[in-house]
Amino acid sequence: MMSFRVSVGIRGSKIAVIFLSRNYASSKWCLDELVEIMKCREELGQTVMTIFYKVDPSHVKKLAGDFGKVFKKTCAGKSKEDIQRWREALVKVATIAGYDLSNWDNEAAMIEKIAMDVSNELINSAPSRDFDNLVGMRAHMENMNLFLRLNSNEVKMIGIWGPSGIGKSTIARALFSKHSHQFQLSVFMENIKRRYPNIQGYDEYSSKLQLQREFLSQIINHVDIKIHHLGVAQDRLKDKRVLVVLDDVDHSIQLEAMANETRWFGPGSRIIITTQDKKLLNAHGISHIYEVGFPREDQKSPYDSIIVFECFGFDFPLEIFCMYAFGQKSPYDGFENFAWEVTQLAGRLPLGLRVIGSYMKGRTKQEWKRELPRLRTSLDGEIVSVLEFGYNALHAEDKELFLYIACFFNKERIEKVEDHLAKNFSDVGQGLQVLAEKSLISIHRRYIDMHDLLARLGREIVRKQCIHDPGQRQILVDARDICKVLNNNTTTSGSLIGTVINFSEIEDELYRSDRVLERFSTLQFLRLNDGSCNQSHLPQSLNNLPHKVRLLDYENFWMTCLPSNFNPEFLVELKMSYSKLEKLWEGNKTIRNI
């Protein structure tokens, strides 16, 4: 029998690499090791990699050829039990897809590939510590394990449901980080609502194809994948054990395109959907739903000298706040009452606790004392007030950048935002870093992500500027204010540099005029959308596009060609999704910045 020390070594390994040569079976020691390795593969999920060196895998499985002859000699005089154990282990290891030297022209290249694959496997199997310090995450993981039941071969769809800012995506990301290495394929489709919006009333089938193409591209890591029908996902994944996270879903089309039925996926697959809409989960037949509620709240300070402190569970709001304000689950000495009061003022939404905690981090007692009166008067328990507090704490230029992100550049790549705003700010990258540090945005894979509530806050702040004279603002995003400017026949100030117009929101005679943008001549950032409005509600032509526009995003543009007098000289980005354009423009145009 194999020594105890070797057995422990095998069981303590993450990966076992088995080198199968013609004479492998000549060693009883090797065969005993193989039995132990295959046992660890079944019981512990150990990764096993095989190398077939000058031996046919079928000879290993069938114990044929020279390999079979060597095995027969080793079996001479051995017990039936040992021979049977060896046979079973060899049959199992031969079915593992491995590296066959006969398929390689260069032995060194094969060795390099094996070393790289081992390294990648070790990286992928390394336990994640990214979420260890998040308050309550361990309990969320334990609760979700009851839904996941990873030892079952049943395909499960699981919903994570709760209000915006409650932490649904964070829970899903923690699950993905912890378990993705246990699946053949895995994908985290983030921010679906924003990044892959449903095109209602336009071309539903094309929208589904687009979603499924992106989904397959990410899960099989193939950038240029082409699909021509919606059966491709099922065909490619039906025999694969996959982990899929569909984050922030808001329409059934998104589910139909990427996870329409459980039979699309192989045995043991898990599909996790985060959403604010429970009806959407129910309509898709998802009965396993994990509700993420607000953290529990105690009405009395645990730091009052006459009150005995009792922990009210993993999701106590004070702990959440303290992790962002102090980097630990409790306040620094002398800051206890400050932290308690701020937590109460911030409300129970984790997003609010995070925003204010990040702002207060590193401040002295005197600074906390100065901030508390303003917190008491400006916050009434509503999340909008909590978020506005974080905005008000910014310097003027960072505030302006925040508004641009909220109104125009949420979910965009950092490089694109820097290109657009380089002339408006001294250092866009530094400004983004400030916003990230204040938890007003997050950055994932070079994409900027501002929470929905914060983006709505930004648009509301813009709307309240010059509330009685919207033509004097820098940004116009509210359809009523835009219509007011047009109806009053007033001239906008030279400070107006951006607007968002959805022609379907207001039916007004002015929108049918080709002079609809005449008073917006200073615009640099222009987003337009025809939506599903009646053709009669659109301008008959569009001859007044601003000459210095840098961003032109016109979704569902109805014309076949841009106006002949359009000047693209300053254009950085032209986005005309779902338009009827047949050509951009007549003649030659100067393009320097696009």
**pLDDT recorded at residue 341:** 86
The burial class, CB within 10 Å (0-12 / 13-18 / 19+), for 462 is buried
Indicate which residue of 33, 190, 214, 319 is catalytic.
33
In contact, 213 and 222? CB cutoff 8 Å: no
Residue 149, pLDDT > 80, answer: yes
Asked if the domains at 4-125 and 137-291 fall in one CATH topology, the answer is: yes
CB atoms within 10 A of CB 109: 10
Q: Catalytic: 371?
A: no
Higher-pLDDT residue of 165 and 99 is: 99
The CA distance from 413 to 407, in Å, is: 15
pLDDT, tens only, 259-277: 999 999 999 999 999 988 8
Domain ranges for the chain, please list them.
Answer: 4-125, 137-291, 317-392, 396-458, 465-575
Q: Burial, 298: exposed, middle or buried (Cβ in 10 Å; 0-12, 13-18, 19+)? A: middle
Instruction: Tell which CATH classification among 3.30.56.10, 3.10.180.10, 3.40.190.10, 3.40.50.300 matches the domain 137-291.
Output: 3.40.50.300
Reported as a single tens digit per residue, the pLDDT across 483-501 is 777 776 655 556 788 888 7
Looking at per-residue pLDDT, the higher value among 315 and 429 belongs to 429
pLDDT at 131: 54
Q: Which candidate, 207, 234, 47, 35, places its Cα nearest to that of 122?
A: 47
Kindly indicate the confidence band of residue 98, based on its pLDDT and cuts at 50, 70 and 90.
Answer: confident
Residue that the structure tokens 């395909």 belong to: 155
User: Token digits for 562?
Assistant: 């841009």
What is the distance between the alpha carbons of residues 357 and 331, in angstroms, rounded to a whole number? 11
396-458 maps to which CATH number? 1.10.10.10
| Identity of the amino acid at 111 | I
Which overall architecture, per CATH, does domain 4-125 show?
3-Layer(aba) Sandwich (3.40)
Which pLDDT tens digit goes with each residue over 529-578? 765 555 555 555 566 677 788 888 888 887 888 877 787 888 888 888 88
Q: What is the pTM of this model?
A: 0.52
Nearest to 432 by CA among 453, 447, 454: 447
Are the C-beta atoms of 179 and 173 separated by less than 8 Å? Answer: no
pLDDT of residue 228: 87
How far apart CA 121 and CA 133 sit, in angstroms, is 26
Q: What is the pLDDT of residues 368-408, one digit of tens each?
A: 998 888 777 654 445 676 677 778 878 899 999 999 999 99
- Mean pLDDT across 86-104: 87
